[in-house]
């Protein structure tokens, strides 16, 4: 696997509690938490859209 260039989310706070995102040469995406960088979630843009929609729905249902 090629070296990925991870970008920290602008919504992450300082320290080790950060969500990081990287793109792969085939157009895929990788997500990881900075405190556990060996564990990644692999998806493609449609999967990320679905994940974000589910998270937003969950957050709005708790409000």
pTM: 0.74
What pLDDT does 34 receive? 84
Q: Which helix (H) or strand (E) holds 60?
A: helix 45-62
- At 14 the three-state DSSP class reads coil
pLDDT band at 19 (very low <50, low <70, confident <90, very high): confident
8 A C-beta contact, residue 34 and residue 20: yes
- At residue 15, the pLDDT reads 64
Tens digit of each residue's pLDDT (9 = 90 or more) over 22-57: 999 999 999 999 889 899 999 999 999 999 999 999
């Amino acid at each position: 696997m090629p070296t990925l260039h991870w970008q920290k989310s602008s919504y992450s706070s300082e320290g080790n509690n950060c969500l990081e995102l990287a793109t792969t040469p085939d157009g895929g995406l990788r997500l990881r938490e900075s405190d556990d960088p060996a564990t990644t979630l692999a998806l493609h843009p449609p999967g990320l859209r679905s994940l974000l929609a589910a998270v937003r729905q969950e957050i709005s249902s708790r409000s």
